[in-house]
Structures are given as C-alpha cells and as structure tokens.
Structure 1
C-alpha cells in the first residue's frame, strides 16, 4: 500500500513512522521544514487532565507510546513523567475539578486531590494561595523541538520518503488513488492522509468536506535558567480565561510558560504569528499566581505559531466521508502534543487494517454536516 502524508508536524511524522512500521510505502510532504508549524510552537505538555472525555482513550494510547519513545525512535525526546498538577484558587474551580475527576474515572483517568498542606509539602513554592489541586502522576512533558524530527528520521530509516520545502498544488483523486502535484514533483499513492494542521481544512475542502476551523497563534515565553526545583507541569482549574496560565521547568532550569493571553488570528499565508508584547504583563501576572518566584526572573524570549482551532474544539480524525482512500487528522485545537504518537499509531492502524481499536467517531469529518 502506498500512502502520501501531507504535513510534517508531529501528527504527520508519527503517522509516517507507524505506517512504515506496518509495511506501507510512505511519502511525507511538508511545505516548510519538519516540525516547524504548530509542533514547535507547542508548550510540550503531555497531559490527560481536562481533556474532552471522548479524547481519553486516544490520550491513554498515546501516553503508552510516549513512554516507549526513546527506545522506539532511538533518541531521547525528553519525555519525563514528572506528573501534572492543576492548582485551584476558588470554589468554582474546585467544583469543576471534582466533577471532571468523577466523570473521567470510568474512562481510566484517576486524579488525586491535594490539600493546601499537601501542595506545600510536595511542591513548595507553587500556588501559595491555592485551596486545592489535582495531580496526575503519570503525565509530564516532552520537547517539541525534538519529537517530530525524531519520528521523521525513524520513518526514513524504515523506508519512508520525507520531502521538505515542497509547496503542494493540485490534489487529484483518480478514482483509484491520488496524485499530488508539488514544487518538487508529482507523487501518486493509493491513500492520502491529511495532517495539514491549520491548513488541513483547506485540503478537506478540496474534497467537499467543510470544517469550521480558525488559525490562531498562542503566546509562549521562556525565562532565564533557575535552579531546577519544579518537577511537574503546572496548570490551573479556572473559569476565567485571564487566569488560565501554565508553566513547566525544563532540566536546564528555564521556565516555559503560556496561556492567559488571547490567541491571535493568523493568516495561513505565510502562516506565522508574532507574540504581542502588550499581552505580556497580564500573562506574567497570571503565571506568577502559580509561581510567585517568577516575578524576580528575567524573560529571555517570547514566540507564537499557527494552530488550527475547530469550532467545537475537537479534532478532525478518521476516514473521509466523500472520498475513498482519503483520511484526516488535523485541527487539534492547541492541545494535540500529548496525542501525537497515539494519533499516528491509530491512523496507521485504520489505514492499513480498515479498523481502529481506539474510538474515533466523535472526531469524524462529517459531524458538522450532521449538525446543520
């Protein structure tokens, strides 16, 4: 079986790897360089807490693969299962956390509730005004700059062809397969997998599948190195988006942070957003609520990217509803990093066996037509 994968972010490179591992002949086509889109702009959070419940089977599948990534890919992609803590500062956040924890338990996610005393004892310096927290010990973080290139290189070693800096032009369905014209030549295959990220809706539209997707850029930042003391990824349960910050400390000591700032609209041509300095003071105040010590630290860099947000905040994933041999995996709404390996494995299973052990019905591409 020949498969063309359009898009060289984490979803595309993971799919290429797992397809090649299942014996498919894979050509991956990326418009820029591998991993330079939404993947490299990612925070690197590997969390299951707070996900839509229907995403949890995919998130569980993916977490197992993150744990195997170093051995599977032959390099350290800095996955660290340091845990994921979400701080709570008010009664509304506490109620939301408890309701979610109860709902998620049948889906296989167990959250530990921490008291203020337990937070101070186990994670000193975090959220001194927090009234509670949730903790998921098996979650953690990974390095967004390493993971997509690692999957691409591992796929290449299995025989996949990885083509970068190739602008895709016309995509033709022949009735028996697909022909993709690009700035680096034409390619034919039995199947086409659309992992185009924020550009994925454009590809789907060429086959009569309209997806309500907006391209937006997050605001991220990183501080100077500090002594390494914060092990878990830190987030918050809150109903106020202005307080929705998150952070993690990398092993080199730098603190990476994001959230609590409006995601700015991004034009798909060229498809890059810039961080807005005017948003930074309020964002840092929200981060300091989680970690007061950050107020004394120098900021090194801020950045943004280009992410695809679907109207219902769920990804598009699975078979095309109009075209045999076409598959989609895009629109992960800024929280696809944890899901990436699981997405690649699930799509490879679906394409090569015509089945998938992980339920994908909630992510079908034609759900918007059904709602109309």
Structure 2
C-alpha cells in the first residue's frame, strides 16, 4: 500500500515510521524542515496526569513506545522516566486531584498522593507551601528537538521517502487514491494521512470536513543552569490559569518552563508565533511558587510556536467521514507530545489493518457535525 503523510512533526514522522515498519510505501511531505513546527516548540512533557479519560488508552500505548524509543530508533532522544509531580496549594484543588485519581484508576492510571513531609523529603526545594501533591512515577520528559528527526531518519532507513521544504499546491482525490502536487513534484498514493497540525483543518476542509480550530502559541522559556538536580517534571493542580505553570530541569541544568501566561495568537502564514515579553513576569511568579529558587536565576531565552487548538481540546484522529482512504491525526491542542509515538502506531495500525486496538471514537472528525 502507498501512503502519503502530510506534515513532518512528531505525529507525521512517527506515523511514517510505523507505516513503513508495517510494509507500507510511504512518502512524507513537509512544508518546512522536519520537526520545526509545534514539536520543537513543545515543553517535552511525557505526562498522563490530567488527560481526558478517553485519551488515557492512547497515552498508555504511547508511554510504552517512549520506553522503547532509544532501542527502536537507534539514538537517545533523552526520554527519562523521572516521574511527574503536580503540587497542590488549596483544598479545592486537592478535592479535584482526588476525584481525578479515583476516576482514572479503572483506566489504568495510579497516582500517588504525597503529603507535605513526603514532598520535602523526596523533592527538596519544591513547593514549600504545598499542602499535597500527586505523583506519577512512570512519566517523565524527552527532548522535542530530537524526536521528530529521529523518527524521520528511522523511517527513511525502512524505505520511506522524506520530502522537506515542499509547499503543497493541490490535493486531488482521484476516486481510487490521491494525487498531491507540490513544489518538489507530484506524489500519488492509495491513502492520505493528514498530520499537518494547526494546518490540518485546512486540508480537512478541502474534503468537506470542517473543524473548529485556532492557531495559538505557547509561552516558553529556559533559564541558565542550576547546580541542584530536580528529577521529575513539575506542574500544579489549579483552576486558576494564572497559576498554571510547569517546569522541568534538563540534564545540563537549565530549567525549561511554561504555562500561566496566555497563549499568543499565531498566523498560519507564515506559521510562526512570537512570545509576548509582557507574559514573562506572570510566568516567573507562577513558576516561583513551584520552585522558589528560580527567582534568583537568569532567563536566557524565550520562544513560542504554532499549535492547533480544537474547541473541545480533543484531537481529530481516525478515518475521514467523507472520503475513502483519507485519514486525520491533528489538533492535539498543546498536549500532543506525549501521545506522538502512540498516535503514529495507532494510525499505522488503522490504515494497514482497518482496525485499531486503541479506542479512537471520541476523536472522530464528524463529531462537530453532530452537535457534540
């Protein structure tokens, strides 16, 4: 089977790899360079905590693949299962965490509840005012700058064609397949997989499938290195968006942080978002609540990127509702990084076998036409 994959971020490159591994003849077409869109702007969080319940089977599938990534892809993508801790500062958030932990237990997610003494003993320096925390020990982080290119190179070794800096001019459904005309030539295939991220809705609309999506950019930053090592990814349980910060420390000592500040507007043409410097002070106040030591550290860089946010914050994933042979996997609304390998594996299974062991029903594209 011939498959064209549109989009060279983590979703597209992972899909290309798993399709090629199942024997498909794959052509991946990317308008820029591999992994330079939403993937490289990502925080790098490998978390299951806080996900919509219907995403958890996919998140579990993906976590298993993250654990195999170095052996599977032949290079270290800096996946580290150092755990994910979410600090809690008020009774309402504690109740929210306990309700979520109870709801997710049947879905295979077991969260530890930590009290203040356990937090300070296991993770010194974090959230001195926290009244509790949740901890998921198997989660962690990976390097967004490495993963998409690692999948692309591994797919290429399996025979996939990776075409970069190719603007797509026209997509034609021929009745028995697809023809994609681009600045790097024309490509034909039996199936088309749309993994174009924030641009995915434009492709879907060409086939009569409308998706309510907004292009936004996260506010991200990184500090100079700190000598002390903070192993887990750190977040917060809160209903207040201004407090919703998160951070992780990379092995070189720098603290990567995000959250709290409003996501900036992003234009699909040319597809870039610029961090708002006015949001940095708000972010640092929120992050300092999680890690007070950050107040004495210099911020050396800030950035943003173009992500697609769907109205219900769930992705579009699965078969087209209008066109045989067309498949979608886009709109992961700022929380797709952990899901990436699982998305690629699930889409390859669906395309090549006409079935998928992971339930995808809540992500179908026609849900917006049914008032859901």
Pair in the same fold by TM > 0.5: yes
Paired position in structure 2 for 1:315: 315
Q: Is the 8 A contact 1:228 1:252 kept in 2?
A: no
- Structure 1 unaligned spans of 5+: none
Paired position in structure 2 for 1:150: 150
Give the TM-score of the pair, scaled to structure 2: 1.00
Paired position in structure 2 for 1:206: 206
Q: How far does residue 158 in structure 1 lie from its aligned partner after superposition?
A: 0.1
Matches within 5 A, 1:334-349: 334-349=334-349
- Structure 1 distance, partners of 2:275, 2:266, is 11
Q: How far does residue 4 in structure 1 lie from its aligned partner after superposition?
A: 0.1
Paired position in structure 2 for 1:77: 77
Q: How far does residue 196 in structure 1 lie from its aligned partner after superposition?
A: 0.3
Matches within 5 A, 1:1-372: 1-371=1-371
Q: Which runs of 4+ in 1 moved over 2 A?
A: none
Q: Deviation per CA, 1:164-189: give whole Å up to 9, x if none.
A: 00001110000000000100011000
Q: Is the 8 A contact 1:314 1:363 kept in 2?
A: yes
Q: Is the 8 A contact 1:228 1:251 kept in 2?
A: no
- Structure 1 distance, partners of 2:139, 2:212, is 31
Q: How far does residue 229 in structure 1 lie from its aligned partner after superposition?
A: 1.4
Q: How far does residue 6 in structure 1 lie from its aligned partner after superposition?
A: 0.1
- Structure 2 distance, partners of 1:227, 1:350, is 46
Q: How far does residue 228 in structure 1 lie from its aligned partner after superposition?
A: 4.0
- Structure 2 unaligned spans of 5+: none
Q: How far does residue 311 in structure 1 lie from its aligned partner after superposition?
A: 0.3
Q: Deviation per CA, 1:181-236: give whole Å up to 9, x if none.
A: 10001100000000000000000000000000000000000000111410000000
Q: Deviation per CA, 1:100-125: give whole Å up to 9, x if none.
A: 00000000000000000000000000
Q: Deviation per CA, 1:310-354: give whole Å up to 9, x if none.
A: 000000000000000000000000000000000000000000000
Q: How many residues align?
A: 372
- Structure 2 distance, partners of 1:268, 1:83, is 35
- Structure 2 distance, partners of 1:34, 1:96, is 39
- Structure 1 distance, partners of 2:298, 2:281, is 13
- Structure 1 distance, partners of 2:34, 2:51, is 27
- Structure 1 distance, partners of 2:106, 2:335, is 22
- Structure 1 distance, partners of 2:59, 2:33, is 26
- Structure 1 distance, partners of 2:139, 2:270, is 34
- Structure 1 distance, partners of 2:325, 2:15, is 15
Q: Is the 8 A contact 1:78 1:143 kept in 2?
A: yes
Alignment RMSD (CA, Å):
0.5
SS in 1 for 2:4: strand
SS in 2 for 1:181: strand
Q: Is the 8 A contact 1:228 1:249 kept in 2?
A: no
- Structure 2 distance, partners of 1:138, 1:267, is 36
